[in-house]
Amino acid sequence: MVTQTKEPAQAPAARTYEHFIAGQWVAPATGQTYERRSPATGDLVETIAWGDAEDAHRAIDAARAAFDAGTWAKAPAQQRAQVLRKTAEKIRAELLPLAQLLSKEVGKPQSMAIAEVAMTADVFDYYAGLALDMHGESVTNFAPDAIGITMHEPVGVVGVITPWNFPVLLISWKLAPALAAGCTIVAKPSEFTAGTTFELARIISEAGAPAGVINVVTGPGPVVGAELAASAKVDKIAFTGSTAVGKTIMQAAAGNLKKISLELGGKSPNIVFADANMDAAVGGAFFGIYLNTGQVCQAGSRLLLQESIKDEFLAKLQAFTKTVKVGNPEDPSTTMGPVINEQQLDKVVRYVHAGQEEGATMLCGGGRLTGGDYDRGLYVQPTIFDNVRNDMAIAKEEIFGPVLSVLTFKDAGEALRIANDTIYGLAAAVWTKDINTAFKMAKGIQAGTVWVNAYHSAGLPFMPYGGYKQSGIGRELGHEGLEEYLETKAVQIKLA
């Protein structure tokens, strides 16, 4: 098993990770381990501890003791900010080896992995600033002989459960504000991408977080994750993953009415009007569905095209799709890597078959890529379906792969009805040059994020993020993301 090191992480060799509890590497109570193999080549990436409820208890107890001791919860804001800033500095210092490990775990091209790690450092810097800007309010004019004060305090022990698609960025959206608030944490990452979370915990510890403030335990979700959700010693759960799992976490968390924030699934509409800048919108549709091999909760998986531009738009999009280089993420020319595991590959292929059976027209793609180096990995073709109805499975259900469903609309009213005809409400985009259309759609779409003339980002990285309907509860990033980890106390003082 690995021991804690002060040296920067080195990427190539397969590593072994124990649990990280109370500042120490700790062997799993089960004595069992799990091998993570590259989805691109099948080579061993890392071996991780395969824990159980006992391991979860140890980590929870460590976080509980650290919080109750007050060393972190009551530390001056400047101290917490310094740890967050040093964490950002150390992430940047180790950017390349962290990105190489991330690329191997997820299968994403190294350039995209580098960008994810860089954005992660930015998140820690951002919340270092907010740690210095936490303050309450005073009420002085309501009554002549009373003063009111609102105070904000850390919520307590936070259980963090994260997915595999953006393993360091998505966990930073939780760790950074939780640490800024003064909380202590038990993180349970996906077994497919646990190594990067262990490395992040090491970095946070080396940056000065006291023992027990950050703990990482791995193991099966129905055991370790369920223990976090149900534990009376955990005050909040922050989860990113599927809507189905989010519902089970919500039920388990009811035991002690712990706070929850859930960032769940999506089936996001990407709406293009006839007056839009077509080339920009084609690029947005391409990026919207194919980023990270389509394994993105906010992916623009439903493309809504105004009828008059459909043929021209799809011709351009198909030509653009042909430029995708699917292959090994270590190849600099690769623009799309494999899917994460066999289960996800089978799921994507099943949906491709379902789309054909329901009568949609497959314009390109069609399933798994085989032959040569493709046989070593889990590769699928970027796929576009035309003539899709909104009641088809490929239009209703989250595929989490590079499969695009194309629908058409006559006018803004119909586009809005189609866009909102879903159980989800995570994200959406509108492409138009008409400011009135843009605002009408932005106001009418039931989603937590609406981009106009952009997809995934318009260059504003810290705006609050979260979903309507079954896409989640709560918000991440921004001041709202910090508030998720704070309790508000009202103090009323009667003057003598």
Residues 321 and 315: their CA atoms lie apart, in Å, by 10
Q: Spot the catalytic one: 263, 476, 483, 484.
A: 263
The shares of helix, strand and coil residues in the chain, as percent rounded to the nearest 5, are: 40, 20, 40
Residue 154 is which amino acid?
P
Q: What is the DSSP letter of 1?
A: -
Tell me whether residue 297 is one of the annotated catalytic residues. yes
Residues 236 and 157: their CA atoms lie apart, in Å, by 7
Residues 457 and 460: their CA atoms lie apart, in Å, by 7
CA distances from 20 to 15, 60, 94, 182, 472 (A): 15, 12, 19, 19, 29
Residues 228 and 288: their CA atoms lie apart, in Å, by 33
Q: What is the DSSP letter of 151?
A: E
Residues 437 and 433: their CA atoms lie apart, in Å, by 8
Residue given tokens 């950050």 in the structure block: 214
Q: Spot the catalytic one: 94, 105, 297, 483.
A: 297
Residues 18 and 29: their CA atoms lie apart, in Å, by 10
Tell me whether residue 183 is one of the annotated catalytic residues. no
CA distances from 191 to 14, 44, 59, 108 (A): 15, 13, 17, 17
Residues 88 and 97: their CA atoms lie apart, in Å, by 15
Q: How many residues does the chain have?
A: 496
Instruction: List the one residue out of 37, 95, 41 whose CA is nearest residue 330.
Output: 41
Is residue 100 within 8 Å of 110, Cβ to Cβ?
yes
Active site residues: 263, 297
